[in-house]
Structure 1
Amino acid sequence: MNARQPIPLHMLLGTYPGTEALITGAVKSELVTLDFAKVARANNGFKRVVRDMEFDVAELAIVTFLMAKARGKPLVLLPAVMIGRFQHPYIVYNAARGELSPHELNGKRIGLRSYSVTTATWVRGILQNDFGLDLASVQWTTFEEPHVKEFVDPPNVSRAAEGKDLIQMLLDGEIDAAIVGDGAKADPRIKTLFPDPAAQAHAWQARNNAIQINHMIVAKQSLVDTHPDAVREVFRLLEESRRAAAAKGGKAEPAFGLEANRRNIEVAIDYCVDQKLIDRRLTVDELFDDTTRVLGA
């Protein structure tokens, strides 16, 4: 009898310390073969995940996933966090034009890559909940359309003119603040809106008992239905790859497992509902199914 052939899976996954062993092949499987998409950054493929359903398994921003799930996209969440970070350092302003505090943003102009990206959603939620920002009072300037095609940006969102650059608009005074995914730039005029982002992040965590998830792993519902063993194997490989990184002295990564992340996901759902990115409050449990819910337990 012939040995069972591995199940081929097309996968979107970024290269991080915790995924390097998997992507390079140092961590292997006899059950699945992984064909990794060739993208410079995982977020370059997120539209393909939720619009084209191109990947069997994919890294995906949590807000993009929640928006897609709320609109009926057949995706299932795995309790595997790829990126979790506090977002307080990622809103900046031009100090050469005067001081600006988180309490002074009502009626201001804020630039960002796309309205519904996860970093922007976390930053808006922080400003709304902790500093009283009226999101409807802000003029938001974006550069890209939403990942989820069915979502329509709010009326106070406009697209920057062709050829415009987010940081240059900030320096030129065309916007008052900017949400930048890679944090404050080297230009000495650009400062973080929060004078001590780390302290603000610590206070947020204490109040909310959560971390701010950026990316997790999703699978197509059809794969989970037909090959649940393949989904379990992908999760095992991700865990093994993380252990390999930890053995080399890598930094501690966000925990895997549903219960370890239940509160984190609940807060993400709350922020999405409050900002009208989804029209109903999804439950954490409906994001998973019987196969993925118990992974890492």
Structure 2
Amino acid sequence: MAEAPFTLAIGRGPMGDALRQAGALPDGTPVTLPEIEPIHRAFAPMAMQQRFDVAEMAIVTALQAIAFGKPIILLPITLAARFQHRCIIRLACRPELTPGTLAGRRIGVRAYTQTTGMWVRAILAEAAGLQAADSQWLTQDPAHVAEFADPPFVTHVAPGLKLPAMLRDGLIDAAILGNDLPEDADFAPVFPDPDAAARAWFDRTGVVPINHALVASRAFAEARPGTLAALLTALRAARPRRDPDLLPDSAATMAHSLAHVLAASEAQGLLPRRMTVEEIFAPARALGLH
């Protein structure tokens, strides 16, 4: 028998669109899917107020929310991931800007806590020994979790400024962008041949650069674990199959990559305390969600 409707904030893509088309889980449970574009506008309301029963959330935001005691739980499925090496760009006329020459430079990113920025900083640390505090970070947005305070090497700028325009005007030396990465001959990746570098990194580390996962409010999860199990089944059935597979969909297959996220987040000052993968997935596991 179908249960009462529940709200799910999820972005556009094969998994979310399959649910939009169906309007319900396979068992007939109705799903209300609010239109939120871009989906990152759902992150703060979910983290701070549990505005939805279930929501897509950037992995750094989810980890911060859990670390600061927000009543949400992480569910074992990846909704979005991508190789990140191409996401840091420079002006094409400045070929001297490479991963090894970014110390002391001004780097723009939407928010210091943005997951894409976390991944790029982790990659720069590995590739060039560049630590977060070695550069000047210019940001436009605060963290989605209000308790987090940016470190002292981060400067907030007017939110109306666009990162590509700031790069053109010389206000920053490099910029990190995600889905809004410009396709413009004025810009070039900081990493030479970023696609080859990303694939070599993935082959060497086995780490999936997870961007977004799924969270549920603790109250909803504890009241309706069966609905969450059915939701996970539906999302996994709609999951696109690609090579390489960048969408791990279980606690076991996400563990290695999440350990990397935790280590990088701790090194970059993104978390108020040390966390483990076991801690993160314990609430879902206790509800039988693996």
Q: Secondary structure in 2 aligned to 1:32?
A: coil
CA RMSD in angstroms, aligned pairs only: 2.2
> How far does the alpha carbon of each residue in 1:117-166 deviate from its partner, in whole angstroms, 9 at most, with x for none?
10000001111232111321311111111111100011121122353221
The change in CA–CA distance for 1:22 and 1:196 in structure 2 (over 3 A counts) is same
Query: Do residues 269 (structure 1) and 266 (structure 2) align?
Result: no
- Partner of residue 71 from structure 1, selected from 68, 72, 88: 68
Unaligned runs of 5+ in 1: none
Q: Does the Cα contact within 8 Å between 2:42 and 2:55 map onto a contact in 1?
A: no
Query: Do residues 198 (structure 1) and 191 (structure 2) align?
Result: no
Amino acid of the structure 2 residue aligned with 1:10: T
- Partner of residue 161 from structure 1, selected from 151, 158, 161: 158
**Structure 1 match to 2:249:** 256
- Partner of residue 33 from structure 2, selected from 25, 36, 46: 36
Aligned pairs for 1:1-297 (under 5 A) are: 6-25=3-22, 28-30=25-27, 32-161=29-158, 163-182=160-179, 184-242=181-239, 254-289=247-282, 291-292=284-285, 295=289
Q: Secondary structure in 1 aligned to 2:43?
A: helix
Q: Secondary structure in 1 aligned to 2:83?
A: coil
For residues 206 and 251 of structure 1, the distance between their equivalents in structure 2, rounded to whole angstroms, comes to: 10
Percent identical residues: 35
Amino acid of the structure 2 residue aligned with 1:182: N
Amino acid of the structure 2 residue aligned with 1:104: T
Q: Secondary structure in 1 aligned to 2:198?
A: helix
Displacement, 1:290?
5.7
The change in CA–CA distance for 1:155 and 1:24 in structure 2 (over 3 A counts) is same
Q: Does the Cα contact within 8 Å between 1:232 and 1:291 map onto a contact in 2?
A: no
Displacement, 1:184?
4.4
TM-score (norm 1): 0.90
Total equivalences in the alignment:
289
Q: Does the Cα contact within 8 Å between 2:23 and 2:30 map onto a contact in 1?
A: no
Q: Does the Cα contact within 8 Å between 2:99 and 2:124 map onto a contact in 1?
A: yes
The change in CA–CA distance for 1:292 and 1:78 in structure 2 (over 3 A counts) is farther
Amino acid of the structure 2 residue aligned with 1:186: E
For residues 24 and 221 of structure 2, the distance between their equivalents in structure 1, rounded to whole angstroms, comes to: 22
Q: Does the Cα contact within 8 Å between 1:15 and 1:23 map onto a contact in 2?
A: no
Amino acid of the structure 1 residue aligned with 2:20: I
Q: Does the Cα contact within 8 Å between 2:73 and 2:283 map onto a contact in 1?
A: no
TM-score (norm 2): 0.92
Displacement, 1:69?
0.6
Displacement, 1:199?
1.7
For residues 9 and 172 of structure 1, the distance between their equivalents in structure 2, rounded to whole angstroms, comes to: 47
For residues 250 and 94 of structure 2, the distance between their equivalents in structure 1, rounded to whole angstroms, comes to: 46
For residues 88 and 276 of structure 2, the distance between their equivalents in structure 1, rounded to whole angstroms, comes to: 29
The change in CA–CA distance for 1:250 and 1:25 in structure 2 (over 3 A counts) is farther
The change in CA–CA distance for 1:225 and 1:99 in structure 2 (over 3 A counts) is same
The change in CA–CA distance for 1:184 and 1:50 in structure 2 (over 3 A counts) is closer
Q: Does the Cα contact within 8 Å between 1:112 and 1:143 map onto a contact in 2?
A: yes
